[in-house]
Amino acid sequence: MDRGAGVIMIEFVLSKLWTVLFGLALIGVLVVSFDSIDNDNQMREMETELENIMNVLDGLSDLPLGSSLRVSLDELICEREVLELENGSLTLSTEDISFTRVCEVPILLFHPESGLERDFSICLSHESIIFLERDGSEDQSYLTFHLAKSSMISLRTFTNR
């Protein structure tokens, strides 16, 4: 093999190597783009889910006193999401995305041992079933939150306030 053929072979191999490297870079850009689109879709879905939960709470607060509603969270949130209720605010979150909304109507937790709790934090999964009840008076109503089926991640009540 003469020297010219060796140079041509090296140029051929290098051109193929550069083609492969360019292809890998292009695939990397496409993967990042699709991941961004997926994150945007996930964020929109979570915002819609949280708005649906807020609509359920607002709808119950418009009903007469004593009205109640059983809510299965598997119909409202996805498996990978967590719903946290803490002192009148709702937070829907995953590992990297979180949305919070404040409830206009006060929410109290009914704890079987201590009764109604105003200051609490509870994290629920999609497997939880909650029972909401509108209580109080026409001037000052509130929602009582009962755990019908608990698949809790955590529960805290604040006693030093």
Give the mean pLDDT of the chain.
79
Domain residue ranges in the chain: 3-157
pLDDT at 135: 85
Neighbours of 79 (CB within 10 A): 8
**pLDDT digit string, tens, across residues 37-92:** 777 788 888 888 888 888 888 888 778 888 888 888 888 888 888 888 887 788 88
* Cα–Cα distance, 32 to 29 (Å, whole number): 5
* Cα–Cα distance, 13 to 74 (Å, whole number): 56
2 band by pLDDT with thresholds 50, 70 and 90? low
What are the C-alpha distances in Å from 156 to residues 38, 44, 88, 134, 153? 34, 29, 14, 23, 11
pLDDT at 102: 87
Beta bridge partner(s), residue 72: 129
Q: Above 50 in pLDDT, residue 158?
A: no
Neighbours of 113 (CB within 10 A): 5
**pLDDT digit string, tens, across residues 143-152:** 888 776 665 5
Cα-atom radius of gyration of the chain, to the nearest Å? Answer: 27
Residues in the chain, overall count: 161
**pLDDT digit string, tens, across residues 105-149:** 788 877 777 777 777 778 888 888 888 888 877 777 778 887 766
